[in-house]
Structure 1
Amino acid sequence: MPRISQDSIRRVREANDIVDVVGRYVNLRRAGATFKALCPFHKENTPSFTVSPQRQTFKCFGCGVGGSVVDFTMQMEKLDFVETIERLAERASIPLEYEQGSGGTSERPAASSSTKATLYRVMEWAQKRYAATLEKSSDAQSGRDYLRERGVSQEIIDSWGLGFAPESFDAVLTSGMREFGSAEFLDSVGLTRVNEAGKRYDFFRNRLLFPIRDASGRVVAFGARKMDENDPGGKYINSPATPIYEKSRVLYGIDRLATSQYNRAHAKGGKLVIVVEGYFDVIACHKAGLDCAVAPCGTSITPDQIHTLRRFGDRIVLIMDGDAAGQASMERIAGEVIAQGADVTAVTIPGGLDPDDYLNTHTAEDFLALIANGKDLFRFKLEALSKRYDLTRIGARLEAAEEALTVVSMATNEMLRDIIVRKTAEFFDVDETALRARLRSKARSAKTDQAQPAGQTAISVPPDERLLLLSLLRHPELIPAVAEFLASDDFETPVAAAVYRAVLDCREEIGELRFPDVFDFLDQEKSDARSFLAGLMEGDLSLRNAPKDTEQEAMAAIKSAITQLRHKHVEQSDEYRKRVVADNHEELTSRLALMRSMDKRRGVTKP
């Protein structure tokens, strides 16, 4: 099978700036020479995720993950290596070359062998087909009339890619079979289904369609509004979960958050994310200039979605419908929001209106005024309890306070917990000391889970091995001499050995050592080694923070590290003991000094 050429991989990586790529998924904030954000790979309240534009690397000190722009995209998009390179190549318009078995190269094959890439292609094809149907087909007249009645212009239709599914059981099935040769992919993305009789049919029929895109802008699902009120199906239906669509990670409009013009214009106030309930609500907000609005797809807002949105904004505003279901959804997630320490405001529009209806008769400034007068989610929870319990009765007040304490107990930040305990005592008019005692009692009886976040791994590398690698990265001119005395097998830890081998290969292959290039010589399967290499750039002992050393000091550090490594091996192998005697450190010192003097004679100045 053809492999992507090493040169293509390098060009793709260099063409995709890591700050630009990561910034589409998380809310990056500059911190000196680097950028910081909440980690997208595990839940945290304090940012421990760092991106270095100079090194073109990322590293999370909470869960340990790290690497290059390729590693980030692989993990964020759940792609394999080939899919990732093809995805980034497409983003940067870089043509790929593939190495043949004979050593020659060829242009990128016409079709990707990746299943996921094919599924994305199927969904993009379906979106274009549905959009063309809405624009031209007589079968879509009801959809066009409906949009006109709601004041949706052609410009908005085109911008959001709205479409229409005709009232046919096999329109998409038939054309999809011609396009892709099989119904397998249509089934996989939820465009077709098989009934109990074994007959395959189009899932969306006689419905207005809203393409749902992921953070990268790829169509992954559809939301569909029925046009016939006699249709026994739901008013809105959505694509099922598929290999490319996870409802907990995707919201309608999430692909537009990273480029929100409203947030760019109001950057000093912190980035805002508005969460509404429906597709038309999102479109109405964007039409009004509030292009930072999103909506959950066919479900109530979930804690996981709140966590996802925190990557894009500092402040999240929930504007659910004024009915009981909408209000209950905001109350239900209060505990998890408190646990995350998120800044979430709850807003209820007067008269039970939804945002689309409200913005039809009010200005964007009126809408922002409602947001400014919103309540923090914990206050919203307390007021909801006061409506459900008769607080004039002592027993009911006690029950309400107990329910509030359940939410309070989920706060992991001590200062936040202290603030909301005082708010709870004041709201229910109970003694704060008694409330705190009850909270401690609940904490003692609760089971605590001390497990690390999923995916968190501790990469332990001895200081001497880390210091040796740092010295070589800082003084690559010493690599050839060290390579004669030290093999990758001499390292105690596999991750350090893998990084050392990559350093040697990089220097030998391209004649120099630039830090991002080293990643190209590390096996993509060695995620621990790639994270360790990224960690060498940040943290307490790293290229960024370690004190600058001279070449002489680096030589001393390297000799010391080699001594440590060989002392560890001396009891394990008679053959190794002979090598220690033969390869004395005086020879290493003289060889390093000779290389240094040769460089000086050639007029080479070392940094």
Structure 2
Amino acid sequence: MPGYYSDEIIQEVKEGNDVVDVISEYLQLKRTGSNFKGLCPFHNEKTPSFVVSPSKQIFHCFGCGESGNVINFIMKYQNVSFPEALELLADRVGIQLQQSDQKEYNRKRKKKDKLLEINRETARYFYRNLSNNDLGHKYLLNRGINNDTIKTFGLGYAKNSWEDLLKYLLHKGFTQKDIEESGLIIKRKKMEGYYDRFRNRVMFPIIDVKGNVIGFGGRVIDDGQPKYLNSPETPVFSKGYNLYGLNIAKKYARNDKIILVEGYMDVISLYKFGIKNCVASLGTALTKDQVKLLKRYSDKFYICYDNDNAGINAANKAIDVFKKQGLESHVVILPEKGDPDEYIGKHGKEAFYKVLDNPYNYIDFKIYMYKKKYDISDLDNRIHFTREISKMLKNINSPIERDAYVSRISEDTNISEEAIRKEMSNKNSSRPTTSKDKYIKYNNRNNNKDSIKPVSYSLEPGHLIAEKKLLKLLIDDKNIYNRVKDNFKPESFFNDLYRKIATNVYDMYEKGLEVNSDELLDCFNDDKDINTIKKLIEEDIQISNSEKIKAVKDFINKINYYKLKIKRQKIKDQIRNIETNDNKGDVGKFEKLCMELIKIDKELKLHQ
């Protein structure tokens, strides 16, 4: 990430870009009184609820709640980071941006531009290869992929050669070092030199929502292994942050759902049949960052994975990821074994649409999964099944919906509705923990005050919450590190584990690296610490980019306030000790401590 920009330059960019003028370049706005109104680009609507205020220089949608200033609009609409949005707007009005670490930023930007250029040239190379290679071309045609679809997705072919791509890119003037960093070649182990990563494969360029070729997927056209091979992680490609086909699906998802499938060929085959709102994850389980990316383009999501055990289990994990992000999603289970590519090829578009018309919602799919786990024809399994379902049904807010499911489970299991409701209200059956249960259980609580420890996030002391949130922001955003590094050091963290995490995070940034979750976890050995760090990394702090800096200041202020209180208490203890022991010889020390106490009280007032 680039260095941070000063508040002054950010303000200059905002003032130079009138919010109405900028948004009018993307949306059709009509004046209504002192404001402007239009259809919201961030959710589907027929009646305009998107309002732009020229006087306040902000936008707000009364339908979906999205709001912010001109920079926030560009970030969300263009799906770019804060620095990228700032650069776009600065270029628009001819403002020269100055960063705190311009040299380092320029170096990284130049490196990324070079890798994108290599990928772009490689995609062209693979595409030309396909038209000149009967083997790869026939493979796609036999799979029902026509030339128009090949062109739309930029499909290509990697020759059955060890160094053909390497020689081509070297001839184009790229260095061997840059080509290696792009992930397109691999260093030989037993001899000098490099060889092409992709050989004798149909190639799928992975294109981000901005149109950049960021990586590649390759499929063998014979019996070779692995069947699919993807680009490794590079400075421009991260599997957990991108989705295959989203550059195309985003155009059609505004007024429709997004269908999430498993493979490249699923996306391409469905597109060929006119279903163009499909995306696929990149060989990994669905991540929260991918869901956040999808959220920008739709609010309806259908998961249609392969109908086998692996696909069903993957769908089960995926629907939970959507749930944790507060999004509703549905699971589509194909009527027969196979993937969407095979099903639509065999049965056609209309049959596939019929399957889409009967998806499972979250509760129905979980019931389906529990029925796969427990054979309810067996009494013991039927009891276990009902207990598991009861835990889930008690969390349904709607009493009507809850009663409907209780009735259905009763019919399925031949267990009375009354018994199921009693199970749901059973205090010993994993009920949500109340505030009284946050501490150690039973009648020993009051006799073990020294061992009482809060286990709930909400019951942590305020300064620890502040430390945790500040640390999370530091891990996620180098801009925050650049802003606080001179005034807030790792040793400023009160919590021992947070202090150790911060030390490693600062060290990574100081070395010019990004914070990599796996590398950060490798710095710790204790399982308890590792679990805490994993939870911290996965935690989603709901703070908009425009509020981040203010939040950081508030967190640091709260931490410093707590430290002052600790210091104040220590001084008071020292004063009390002098008074209690009547240490007359400590009069000078007593006066000095009193003066320190007065000074700290003044500082505490400033932090309140």
The TM-score with structure 2 as length reference comes to 0.57
1:329 aligns with 2:309: no
Match of 1:437 among 399, 416, 426: 426
| Residue type at the aligned position of 2:271 | H
Match of 2:110 among 107, 110, 114: 114
- 3-state SS of 1:124 partner: helix
Query: Is the CA contact (8 Å cut-off) linking 2:188 and 2:194 kept in structure 1?
Result: yes
Assess, with a 3 A threshold, how the Cα gap between structure 1 residues 34 and 24 changes in structure 2: closer, same or farther. closer
Query: Is the CA contact (8 Å cut-off) linking 2:371 and 2:385 kept in structure 1?
Result: yes
1:228 is matched with 222
Q: CA deviation at 1:442?
A: 3.7
- Alpha-carbon distance in 2 for matches of 1:307, 1:525: 18
1:254 aligns with 2:255: no
Assess, with a 3 A threshold, how the Cα gap between structure 1 residues 340 and 184 changes in structure 2: closer, same or farther. same
Query: Is the CA contact (8 Å cut-off) linking 2:248 and 2:276 kept in structure 1?
Result: yes
| Residue type at the aligned position of 1:256 | I
Query: Is the CA contact (8 Å cut-off) linking 2:375 and 2:381 kept in structure 1?
Result: yes
1:376 aligns with 2:366: no
1:205 is matched with 199
- 3-state SS of 1:209 partner: strand
Query: Is the CA contact (8 Å cut-off) linking 1:24 and 1:216 kept in structure 2?
Result: no
Q: CA deviation at 1:205?
A: 1.3
- Alpha-carbon distance in 2 for matches of 1:375, 1:291: 22
- Alpha-carbon distance in 2 for matches of 1:420, 1:334: 22
- Alpha-carbon distance in 1 for matches of 2:456, 2:340: 40
1:174 is matched with 167
- 3-state SS of 1:146 partner: helix
Query: Is the CA contact (8 Å cut-off) linking 2:145 and 2:272 kept in structure 1?
Result: no
1:161 aligns with 2:177: no
Q: CA deviation at 1:289?
A: 1.9
- Alpha-carbon distance in 2 for matches of 1:207, 1:324: 27
Assess, with a 3 A threshold, how the Cα gap between structure 1 residues 25 and 525 changes in structure 2: closer, same or farther. closer
- Alpha-carbon distance in 2 for matches of 1:423, 1:250: 42
Q: CA deviation at 1:161?
A: 0.5
1:39 is matched with none
Q: CA deviation at 1:424?
A: 8.0
1:190 aligns with 2:206: no
2:484 is matched with none
Q: CA deviation at 1:335?
A: 3.8
Assess, with a 3 A threshold, how the Cα gap between structure 1 residues 15 and 434 changes in structure 2: closer, same or farther. closer
Assess, with a 3 A threshold, how the Cα gap between structure 1 residues 159 and 389 changes in structure 2: closer, same or farther. same
2:373 is matched with 388
| Residue type at the aligned position of 2:202 | L
Query: Is the CA contact (8 Å cut-off) linking 1:421 and 1:436 kept in structure 2?
Result: no
1:528 aligns with 2:528: no
- 3-state SS of 2:290 partner: helix
Match of 2:294 among 285, 309, 333: 309
Query: Is the CA contact (8 Å cut-off) linking 2:74 and 2:85 kept in structure 1?
Result: no
Assess, with a 3 A threshold, how the Cα gap between structure 1 residues 115 and 68 changes in structure 2: closer, same or farther. farther
1:34 aligns with 2:53: no
Task: Render the CA deviation track for 1:384-429: whole Å, top value 9, x for unaligned.
Answer: 22122122344323433454466568x6967799579747854554
1:288 aligns with 2:309: no
- 3-state SS of 1:187 partner: helix
Q: CA deviation at 1:52?
A: 6.6
1:349 is matched with 334
Query: Is the CA contact (8 Å cut-off) linking 2:307 and 2:337 kept in structure 1?
Result: yes
- Alpha-carbon distance in 1 for matches of 2:400, 2:552: 33
- Alpha-carbon distance in 2 for matches of 1:328, 1:425: 22
Within-5 A mapping of 1:568-607: none
- 3-state SS of 1:193 partner: strand
Assess, with a 3 A threshold, how the Cα gap between structure 1 residues 292 and 381 changes in structure 2: closer, same or farther. same
Query: Is the CA contact (8 Å cut-off) linking 1:347 and 1:371 kept in structure 2?
Result: yes
- Alpha-carbon distance in 2 for matches of 1:33, 1:60: 6
Query: Is the CA contact (8 Å cut-off) linking 1:57 and 1:69 kept in structure 2?
Result: no
Within-5 A mapping of 1:417-428: 422=406, 426=410, 428=413
Assess, with a 3 A threshold, how the Cα gap between structure 1 residues 111 and 437 changes in structure 2: closer, same or farther. closer
- Alpha-carbon distance in 1 for matches of 2:313, 2:189: 36
| Residue type at the aligned position of 2:421 | E
> Root-mean-square deviation (CA), in Å?
4.9
| Residue type at the aligned position of 2:366 | K
Query: Is the CA contact (8 Å cut-off) linking 2:258 and 2:301 kept in structure 1?
Result: yes
Task: Render the CA deviation track for 1:88-112: whole Å, top value 9, x for unaligned.
Answer: 799xxx7979799xxxxxxxxx999
Q: CA deviation at 1:379?
A: 1.0
| Residue type at the aligned position of 1:159 | T
Assess, with a 3 A threshold, how the Cα gap between structure 1 residues 362 and 421 changes in structure 2: closer, same or farther. closer
- Alpha-carbon distance in 2 for matches of 1:337, 1:416: 24
Query: Is the CA contact (8 Å cut-off) linking 1:389 and 1:396 kept in structure 2?
Result: yes
- 3-state SS of 1:211 partner: strand
- Alpha-carbon distance in 2 for matches of 1:176, 1:8: 42
1:68 is matched with 70
| Residue type at the aligned position of 1:222 | F
- 3-state SS of 1:173 partner: helix
Assess, with a 3 A threshold, how the Cα gap between structure 1 residues 17 and 251 changes in structure 2: closer, same or farther. farther
Task: Render the CA deviation track for 1:510-567: whole Å, top value 9, x for unaligned.
Answer: xxxxxxxxxxxxxx999637999xxxxxxxxxxxxxxxxxxxxxxxxxxxxxxxxxxx
- Alpha-carbon distance in 1 for matches of 2:334, 2:244: 21
Q: CA deviation at 1:326?
A: 0.9
Query: Is the CA contact (8 Å cut-off) linking 1:338 and 1:407 kept in structure 2?
Result: no
- Alpha-carbon distance in 2 for matches of 1:352, 1:164: 29
Assess, with a 3 A threshold, how the Cα gap between structure 1 residues 294 and 20 changes in structure 2: closer, same or farther. farther
Query: Is the CA contact (8 Å cut-off) linking 2:115 and 2:178 kept in structure 1?
Result: yes
- Which 10-residue stretch deviates more, 395-404 or 200-209? 395-404
2:565 is matched with none
Query: What 5-or-longer segments of structure 1 have no aligned partner?
Result: 36-50, 101-109, 459-523, 533-571, 573-607
Assess, with a 3 A threshold, how the Cα gap between structure 1 residues 194 and 207 changes in structure 2: closer, same or farther. same
2:136 is matched with 143
Q: CA deviation at 1:15?
A: 5.7
Query: Is the CA contact (8 Å cut-off) linking 2:17 and 2:70 kept in structure 1?
Result: no
Query: Is the CA contact (8 Å cut-off) linking 1:225 and 1:236 kept in structure 2?
Result: yes
Q: CA deviation at 1:220?
A: 1.4
| Residue type at the aligned position of 2:180 | D
2:568 is matched with none
Assess, with a 3 A threshold, how the Cα gap between structure 1 residues 112 and 34 changes in structure 2: closer, same or farther. same
1:474 is matched with none
Higher relative contact order (CA 8 A, sep 6+): 1
| Residue type at the aligned position of 2:432 | A
Query: Is the CA contact (8 Å cut-off) linking 1:335 and 1:408 kept in structure 2?
Result: no
| Residue type at the aligned position of 1:204 | F
1:242 aligns with 2:234: yes
Query: Is the CA contact (8 Å cut-off) linking 1:112 and 1:118 kept in structure 2?
Result: no
- 3-state SS of 1:216 partner: coil
Assess, with a 3 A threshold, how the Cα gap between structure 1 residues 413 and 142 changes in structure 2: closer, same or farther. farther
Assess, with a 3 A threshold, how the Cα gap between structure 1 residues 333 and 34 changes in structure 2: closer, same or farther. same
Q: CA deviation at 1:164?
A: 1.2
- Alpha-carbon distance in 2 for matches of 1:209, 1:377: 35
- 3-state SS of 1:147 partner: helix
Q: CA deviation at 1:143?
A: 0.7
Task: Render the CA deviation track for 1:23-80: whole Å, top value 9, x for unaligned.
Answer: 9995465886527xxxxxxxxxxxxxxx879966468999999543378539986757
2:598 is matched with none
Assess, with a 3 A threshold, how the Cα gap between structure 1 residues 195 and 325 changes in structure 2: closer, same or farther. same
Assess, with a 3 A threshold, how the Cα gap between structure 1 residues 18 and 408 changes in structure 2: closer, same or farther. farther
Assess, with a 3 A threshold, how the Cα gap between structure 1 residues 414 and 58 changes in structure 2: closer, same or farther. farther
- Alpha-carbon distance in 2 for matches of 1:329, 1:250: 18
Assess, with a 3 A threshold, how the Cα gap between structure 1 residues 456 and 75 changes in structure 2: closer, same or farther. farther
